[in-house]
Structure 1
Amino acid sequence: MTEVQTLPATLRRFQAHSEGFRWESVVLKHYKPEGTHFRDITRQVLFGPESGLPAELRYFEVAPGGYSTFERHEHVHAVLILQGHGRAIVGEQVFEIAPFDLVYVPPQTWHQFQAAKDAPLGFLCLVAADRDRPTRPSAEEASQIRQHPIIGPHVRL
């Protein structure tokens, strides 16, 4: 008889805090080490390669009025909004987002997530574990983006 090897079940309980969503044994991290191209955002890696997955499932929380970096890269994002509301800029479109909306960010597509001023925006983001580094717009690209009739008024650079 062949023995089937199974991994032990792991449970990380959800913990609602006044400071935002948290899970047991999951480290709350700064979104990025430093910079002025994003504001008031944290991340938690819920599952990653150490779990045997070829992907990372991350939870981001953007404080009211905060935003992620306006960037692009080769890897895709699959995003599920869990709390709050705000905007997602994807390519040349601006979407109003709310809980349980799904946002797909294709490869090499400019994108940014922004929380409304009255509530935090929390979302799950699934990405490949092996991925490229994001790039931000050059000075020339930033100038063109600011002049774009649809996304220009909304982008935070």
Structure 2
Amino acid sequence: MIIKKYSDVKAEPVPESGAKKATLRWVISEKDGAKNFFMRVFEIEPGGCTPLHQHPWEHEMFVFQGEGSIVREGKEVNVSEGEVIFIPPDEEHQVKNPFSKTLKLICLIPSRK
């Protein structure tokens, strides 16, 4: 078993082109012995975003601080603290933060993409 504070894991800039004012922390990964799922924490500053993208795997997100918007099918849907988001495989999506406080969310992805 591993227990740690997410804030002890180094935040790295989101590496994909089109990301702005967004970092991620690989809080559970293969380094921790995870074999099926990885857990990441995204922090998106006001005015920031992830790139608009899609991929062949699903993922799940949980907003644990702040508010933001999810772009899907060309429309923005606001999300806030305590909400969960399911993104099916191949659905184009983006996370934005048009608000005044940092958006923090947990994102789960499969270990084998």
Q: TM-score, length-normalised on structure 2?
A: 0.89
Computed over aligned residues only, the root mean square deviation of the Cα atoms, in angstroms, reads 1.6
Query: How many residues of Structure 1 are paired with residues of Structure 2 in the alignment?
Result: 112
* Partner of residue 51, structure 2: 69
Task: Tell me the CA shift for residue 129 of structure 1.
Answer: 1.2
* Partner of residue 22, structure 2: 41
Where relative contact order (Cα < 8 A, 6+ residues apart) is larger, the structure is 2
Secondary structure of 2:94's aligned partner: strand
Secondary structure of 1:61's aligned partner: strand
Q: Highest CA radius of gyration, 1 or 2?
A: 1
Match for 1:47: what amino acid?
I
Equivalent-residue separation in structure 2 for 1:60 and 1:83 (angstroms):
11
Equivalent-residue separation in structure 2 for 1:108 and 1:13 (angstroms):
32
Structure 2 unaligned segments of length 5 or more: list them: none
The answer (yes or no) to whether the contact 1:58–1:125 under 8 Å persists in 2 is yes
Equivalent-residue separation in structure 1 for 2:73 and 2:50 (angstroms):
15
Equivalent-residue separation in structure 1 for 2:83 and 2:31 (angstroms):
28
> Residues 1-157 of structure 1 correspond to what in structure 2 (within 5 A)?
9-13=1-5, 22=7, 24=8, 26-32=9-15, 35=17, 37-53=18-34, 54-131=36-113
The answer (yes or no) to whether the contact 1:43–1:60 under 8 Å persists in 2 is yes
Structure 1 unaligned segments of length 5 or more: list them: 1-8, 15-21, 132-157
Report the structure, 1 or 2, having the larger strand content.
2
The answer (yes or no) to whether the contact 2:47–2:99 under 8 Å persists in 1 is yes
Q: Deviation above 6 Å: which 4+ runs of structure 1?
A: none
Equivalent-residue separation in structure 2 for 1:104 and 1:91 (angstroms):
14
Equivalent-residue separation in structure 2 for 1:103 and 1:90 (angstroms):
11
